[in-house]
Each structure stands twice: as C-alpha cells, then as structure tokens.
C-alpha cells in the first residue's frame, strides 16, 4: 500500500521535520509507505558530499545541511519535489537499484509529455539533450528511504547562479519550460509521476 500526501508549497524545514517523523512511523510499522509531493520557497540544501567551493554566494537564501547524499542543490517554486518514505524490504535492499528506479520513473513520466530523457552513468539524475532537469539524492535509516527527487518544471533557475549545483556549472541546468518554450501543467505531471511510481513500487 502507498499513501500520497500532496502538500503544496511548504517551507523546507517543515517538510524536513515531517519526513523525519514519517520515517520513524514507517520504520515502526505504524503506517504504510508514504509519498510526499511538494514545492519549496527558495532554499539551498547541502548533502553529505558538499564541497564548500560549490556555494558561491547564497545571498539571503537559507542554506541547510541535510542527510542525503550528493553535493549542493536548490529548491524554488515551480520545481516539483518528491519524497518517497519507503521501506526497503529484503528483496529491495539495493540502493543503486532504488536510485535507478527513481530515474526510470522520471524518464517514463517525461516521455508522456514528449521529452526524451536519459540517465548519465556517472551522475545520478535525469537529463534531456545534455541538460540536467532532475536531481536525485536520498538517505536511508532503518531501511526506510527519505529525501528524494526534484524535477525542474516551470522554475526560472535563478538560484543556480549562486551555486555549482551538484558540482556542475549552472549552465547545464534547465527546466522543462525552458526546453519547451512554454509553461507546463504541474498538476498533470504530478499525476503521471504518481502513476509511474505506483507501477514501479507496488508489489507485482
């Protein structure tokens, strides 16, 4: 069973706290797997592999060090952020496989909207025409996943100018709106993404 929580625009700190409490409940077997969907006001987050030289000038934007893997990334309105709080049962305790699954979910979702997306074998995430459109970074505690993925849909990527996102030059980042030349319906993308996650994650 998978429960969906569509939370709208929420401060990062509040959803971070919600992830922690949800994780503990899931690890204790009190709730089924949870999928949290949200957008965040502007924020930079620092993963466990953060390199200080990749934070150029945060200005007035909050900077938060968190537990996920990876380097620095950003969140802003117009970017869909998805947090799978999933229990990795014995047959699913393969973290590389889990990351690959999230990438495939994104690739399948984007195909429904006319985009040909792909992996980069050297870097976690999803790319279109050589530009990165989605970042993925997770953590695992008591075999429950948290943190997750961020898909650039209609955001303007202004926050990338002050960092080297995931260690890359900011010019490699794009939103779907920038690639297509028009805004996309986030609600429709969200629904297809949920369907793809159901198809991937639910027991066969």
Q: Which residues does the annotation mark as catalytic?
A: 166
Tokens describing residue 202: 């639910």
Helices (H), the chain: 12-27, 95-111, 176-180, 186-201
Distance CA 145, CA 155 (A): 26
Tokens of 156: 């303007």
Q: How far apart are CA 9 and CA 195, in angstroms?
A: 21
DSSP reduced 3-state for 69: coil
Distance, CA of 150 to CA of 76 (rounded, Å): 10
Q: How far apart are the first and last CA of the chain?
A: 12
Place of tokens 């990062």: 12
């Amino acid at each position: 069973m998978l429960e969906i929580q569509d939370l709208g625009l929420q401060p990062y700190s509040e959803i971070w706290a919600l992830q922690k409490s949800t994780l503990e409940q899931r690890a204790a077997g009190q709730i089924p797997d949870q999928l949290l969907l949200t957008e965040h006001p502007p924020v930079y987050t620092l993963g466990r592999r953060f390199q200080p030289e990749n934070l150029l000038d945060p200005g007035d934007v909050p900077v938060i060090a968190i537990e996920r893997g990876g380097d620095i990334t950003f969140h802003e309105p117009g970017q869909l952020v998805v947090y799978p709080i999933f229990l990795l049962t014995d047959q699913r305790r393969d973290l590389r496989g889990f990351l690959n699954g999230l990438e495939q979910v994104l690739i399948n979702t984007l195909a429904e909207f006319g985009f040909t997306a792909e992996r980069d074998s050297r870097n976690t995430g999803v790319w279109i025409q050589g530009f990165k459109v989605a970042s993925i970074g997770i953590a695992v505690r008591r075999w429950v996943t948290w943190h997750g993925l961020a898909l650039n849909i209609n955001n303007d990527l202004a926050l990338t100018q002050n960092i080297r996102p995931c260690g890359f030059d900011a010019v490699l980042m794009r939103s779907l709106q920038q690639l297509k030349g028009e805004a996309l319906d986030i609600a429709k993308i969200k629904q297809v993404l949920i369907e793809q996650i159901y198809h991937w994650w639910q027991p066969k």
